[in-house]
Amino acid sequence: MRTYARITGWGKYLPEKILTNYDLEKMVSTSDDWIRSRTGIGERRIAGEQESASTMGTEAARLALEMAEVLPHELDLIIVSTSTPDNVFPACASLVQNALGATRAGAFDVNAACTGWLCALAVGSQFIANGVYRNVLIVGSDVYSRVLDWSDRNTCILFGDGAGAVVLQASDVPSGPLGFVLGSDGAGGVHVYAHNYFGAAGGRPHKGRPYLEMNGREVYKFAVKVVCEATSQIVAEAGLKLADVDLFVFHQANDRIIRAAVKTLDIPLEKVLINLDVYGNTSSASIPIALCDAVERGMLKDGSRVVMVAFGAGLSWGASIVQWGVREEAFSPARQAFSPNAIPVMESRG
């Protein structure tokens, strides 16, 4: 019997500080009209001095665990997707593990920039599908405000900080991620990148802050192309048609990219989640935050088929189709007995 990685909990965290386009007008040569017309973004969240990828990821994880009614020490594995970790090492996932008290869980990071969370979801799903683990936490968390050149209006207007997380649990009911498409074109890595402090092979260590650099025109052309191709591919591999999909969650990078893909694919805009107007591009946190918003807006319910597509530095891209479903009758007695201060007795535990 096949084992599925059912999504049973989700959570998001956004910093309190809001940076509006009008605030940016005072910092760099730009305007609210200029930003909105080119990106669709109106505001974004900025992490506080005491916040980081691990602290934000931990808060999103706590909400996901509470939703799933899973205690931290029941977790088998924690995977954090981030390209802005607290440190080069230890892994951000290890910091999240410690903060949660998930003493049984293995922990490691995945870095595929904005595509990272889908890559982490693919990895975590395989551990469950192969029968290795039963409870896996997948976190996406980024603080791009720390790697932006705030004098560069072409990049500083795009990004915001935030985190999102889901809990995956083993299930014999067809649900959760049903397939993945992952791709990379390393030749395009020159179009969006950030230096590190150690330099490239044979080079000298980078001096100063490792600012993000991006060729917006090339990234735009790449993004529209791969969003359309990856969406069509994942739906076809699932034996479905675009009309069979209830919700499309595309990486929230630019409203023009999303709308161009929607037009090319000829899908109804009402089936597409868009929240970049208030969050900006939160990198690997983009899709899990969007999933949370989709539930809050009533766009995602038990039984929904959702297609998720991301793209980013690498150049990288990924897609997944998910059968959304949260509750199982076999789990209901344990769920009703759940207490945050006690371990629920679940007969289905392996």
**CA-based nearest residue to 20, from 148, 157, 147:** 157
> Which among 21, 92, 114, 292 is annotated as catalytic?
114
Residues contacting 193, CB < 8 A, separation 6+: 212, 213, 214, 313
DSSP collapsed to 3 states, 125-162: HHHHHCCCCCEEEEEEEECHHHCCCCCCHHHHCCECCE
Whether residue 114 lies in the annotated active site: yes
> What one-character-per-residue DSSP string does 322-336 give?
EE-----GGGHHHHH
Partnered with residue 46 across adjacent β-strands are: 17
> Which among 21, 254, 275, 281 is annotated as catalytic?
281
Give residue 210's identity as a one-letter amino acid code.
P
DSSP state of 281: B
Tell me the two tokens of residue 64: 């996901």
Give residue 197's identity as a one-letter amino acid code.
Y
Distance between CA atoms of 334 and 350, rounded to whole angstroms?
15
> Which among 251, 254, 275, 292 is annotated as catalytic?
251
Tell me the two tokens of residue 72: 């931290």
Distance between CA atoms of 63 and 168, rounded to whole angstroms?
14
The catalytic residue positions are 114, 251, 281
